[in-house]
Amino acid sequence: MRVRFAPSPTGLLHVGNARTALINFLAARKLQGSFVLRIDDTDRERSKLEYEEAILEDLEWLGIGHHLMVRQTERVDRHRAAAELLKGKGLLYPAYETTEELERRRKRALALKQPPVYDRAALRLSSEERTALEAQGRRPHWRFRLSQTKVRWHDLVRGEVEIDTAHLSDPVLIRADGSFLYTLPSVVDDIELAVTHIIRGEDHVTNTAVQIEIFAALAEQLPMFAHFPLLVGVGGEALSKRLGSLSLRQMREEGVEAQALFAYLARIGTSEPVALAGAEELAAGFDFAKIGRAPAHFDPAELAGLSARLLHGLDYEMVRARLAALGVGGGRAFWQAVQPNLTRMSDVVDLWRLVEGPIVPCIEDGELAQMAAALLPAEPFDDDTWSQWTGALAARSGRKGRELFRPLRLALTGLEHGPELKKLLPLIGRDKVLARLEGKSV
């Protein structure tokens, strides 16, 4: 099995593309196949090296590796050879209409309530007419001549699919400037790279019928196809308008955990429940039959919850380097103290400030603060110090519950909510505790 992921380096990788990459990756991994990363950079104006580098970085962050990487612009000679072969078979023909002329024809067809399908007028041109057009300075674009028959294939997700190419315009494969559009290079590269399975979103279904005819014209065996439903928002809305906020780059910046996103994208839209799982488990359980036919609903809140649960279960050794990179100390004791309170890894920076300071204490009950300072045990502090201290304070002050614990938390952390003070107390230390009870910012 050999699959390919073919992003265009015209923007940042977003969750829809990442899901395509992930489904390909899991399918190949389950069957010990290979994963090809093909950079589809045929759009010369919009393709940028910075986006290609971002795609590589984002895929690595997500945990998707590749066995081979190619760029379409490095394979133009192969695409030209295929084009010449199609011309020789009479399947690639020159057309001279301008964009404006084609638009007028399209509007006329719609006004007559006819499908706006190209009428193949270029095929009726004589050699003299073509010569005259070129003498006017017109340069042809090149269209592939569809069979105008029904194309059928067994789709690994959708089952039996039939597309009548008589209802489609002959697609333009080569622009007037000689550059290739997506379709022909994609087929040529799939053939030469020996791709066995083309797995992508259902927005490519109609395009697949065209590509199947090109595969057949180039006398090559067809790959298998699988077209899965696209991602939509929580309310069923299209995600396309919000892709900027759903780029992997922004998700990383917002603190989404890569492993959580990996698990989330692997399971949404399938018959399996969304849950934290590793790549091996997700690959072992992958099955095209589990992919539903309904659109998959992408819920940022659900993803954030999954990401938080992942953090809550990480051992200290798995985050030691990340904590150090954030300038956070305290070792295992601090990690275990704050772990249940994290929604994202960056939260540890603010929580470390509760220990390291400075914080601005809030003295809500001065009498209680003075009493607490007088009763504070000597160091060393341990896990029992908090209960011993607050027990003595409750007995002396007569306060309990919220009346007792809220003023202490406000004095020690400046916050109404946070990690267990039982675990924070030994980390803060006696001197800082006394200073904060006196209202000092330390």
pLDDT of residue 240: 62
The conformation of residue 222, written as its DSSP 8-state character, comes to P
pLDDT digits (tens, 9 = 90+) for 306-346: 999 999 999 999 999 999 999 999 999 999 999 999 999 99
Q: Where are the beta strands (DSSP E) in 146-260?
A: 150-155, 159-164, 172-174, 197-201, 224-228, 231-232
Give the integer Cα–Cα distance in Å for 350 and 356: 10
The conformation of residue 433, written as its DSSP 8-state character, comes to H
**Strand, coil or helix: 183:** helix
Give the integer Cα–Cα distance in Å for 425 and 385: 8
Give the integer Cα–Cα distance in Å for 72 and 79: 9
Half-sphere exposure of 186 (CA within 13 A, CB side): 23
- Model confidence band, residue 234 (pLDDT cutoffs 50, 70, 90): confident
Sort strands 172-174 and 197-201 into parallel, antiparallel or unpaired: unpaired
pLDDT digits (tens, 9 = 90+) for 140-176: 999 999 999 999 999 999 999 999 999 999 999 999 9
pLDDT of residue 244: 55
Q: Is the pLDDT of residue 219 over 90?
A: no
- Residues counted in the chain: 442
If you average pLDDT over every residue of the chain, what do you get? 94
- Model confidence band, residue 44 (pLDDT cutoffs 50, 70, 90): confident
Cis, peptide link before residue 380, omega less than 30° from 0: yes
pLDDT digits (tens, 9 = 90+) for 270-304: 999 999 999 999 999 999 999 999 999 999 999 99
Q: Is the pLDDT of residue 243 over 60?
A: no
Average pLDDT over residues 28-49: 93
Cis, peptide link before residue 419, omega less than 30° from 0: no
Give the integer Cα–Cα distance in Å for 407 and 415: 10
What is the reported pTM?
Answer: 0.89
From first CA to last CA, the distance across the chain in angstroms is: 61
Phi then psi dihedrals of residue 198, to 5 deg = -105, 110
Q: Long-range pairs for 126-131 at CB < 8 Å and ≥24 separation?
A: 130/94, 130/96
Q: What b-and-e string marks burial along 71-94, b requiring 16 or more CB atoms within 10 Å of the CB? A: bbbebeeebeebbeebeeeebbbb
pLDDT digits (tens, 9 = 90+) for 79-122: 999 999 999 999 999 999 999 999 999 999 899 888 899 999 99
